[in-house]
Amino acid sequence: MSKEKILVLGSNGKTGRRVIERLEKVQNIEIRRGSRNEKIPFDWEKPATWNSVLQNIDSVYITFQPDLAIPIAVDSIQKFTKLATELGVQKMVLLSGRGEKEAQLCEEIVKQNAQNWTIVRASWFSQNFSESFFLEPILAGIVALPRAKALEPFTDADDIADVVTASLLENKHNGQTYELTGPGLLTFEQAVNEIAKASGKNITFQSLTLEEYIQMLREYQVPDDHIWLVNYLFEQVLDGRNAHITSDIEKVLGRKAKDFSAYAKETAKTGIWNP
């Protein structure tokens, strides 16, 4: 029997790395890592790299960089998915952002261009606090953020990876759009307090206006395109539209989604917040 060949984009990223860990345990699968640092490199900013990485691939897990909300995403997703189907790809699983109008345009493109598809629309990842932009402020002991009252159902990247892996491997997920959330709603302050409790670290939360936050990022010389994205996420996506939970993780996996305090306890044990 010939092996099914799966391309995982963002193979070193929060979800891609976890999807690979899961696929490695499955027999008759050949994995290709989509990274700028592989022998056959993949770079969203260099369309010339796309053809080689898509050769002889059956299924693709698509994670776009930095976010499907950025203006160029629609054009990149259109070109990438069209090329993938032309080269024989049979199935695409797209990681999308919950409540992002622009991301949903990209979902429609995938639905049009893919032979088979599953959309995995996720809310904010818990791992943003340990593997991404909130790690540094946590290590510094002070997290200053706008939208202090916004409620978000933080989702664990392990749950997302489980749903993505099932979607890549099982045909019953074809044509489905899953909206993934954790089991409860938390404010950023509550999330930070959970981390403080689990890690035993003193972490102060400071509530800012969006304008003060953007000004702070400018003072830290954060690049303009990153500031644009942060502004978009805090202004538009955290306006209350996502402040409700779904049961799609349980529907797909037959078990409850991991809650934030379990994530905080597990992650604290790794020592990442107390290096």
> CA-to-CA distance for 15 and 62, rounded, in angstroms?
10
* Dihedral, 147, 148, 154, 157 alpha carbons, nearest 10: 80
Of 40-48, 143-151, 169-177, 248-256, the window that binds ligand NAP (rule: CB under 6 A) is 40-48
Residue placing its CB nearer to ligand NAP in the complex, 164 or 196: 164
Q: Which two tokens stand for residue 166?
A: 């099932």
> CA-to-CA distance for 153 and 224, rounded, in angstroms?
28
Q: Does 15 bind ligand NAP (CB under 6 A)?
A: yes
Query: Which of residues 13, 99, 182, 183 is near ligand NAP by CB under 6 A?
Result: 13
Of 5-13, 142-150, 217-225, 250-258, the window that binds ligand NAP (rule: CB under 6 A) is 5-13
Under DSSP, the state recorded for 155 is B
Task: Please give the C-alpha separations between residue 224 and each of 10, 112, 124, 135, 214, in angstroms, as whole numbers.
Answer: 23, 33, 22, 20, 10
**Token pair 């916004």 in the structure block, residue:** 150
> In the range 142-201, which residues lie near ligand NAP by CB under 6 A?
none
Q: What x/- string results for residues 45 through 64 when contact with ligand NAP is judged by CB under 6 A? A: x-----------------xx
Residue 100 Cβ vs ligand NAP, minimum distance, rounded to whole Å? 8
Q: Does 134 bind ligand NAP (CB under 6 A)?
A: no
Q: Does 36 bind ligand NAP (CB under 6 A)?
A: yes
Query: Which of residues 5, 22, 40, 43 is near ligand NAP by CB under 6 A?
Result: 43
Query: Which of residues 65, 104, 187, 231 is near ligand NAP by CB under 6 A?
Result: 65
H helices, E strands: number in the chain:
11, 8
Q: E strands, the chain, where?
A: 4-9, 29-34, 59-62, 91-97, 116-122, 142-145, 176-180, 204-207
Residue placing its CB nearer to ligand NAP in the complex, 12 or 90: 12
Binding site for ligand NAP (CB under 6 A): 10, 12-16, 35-37, 42-45, 63-65, 67-68, 95, 97, 122, 124-125, 128
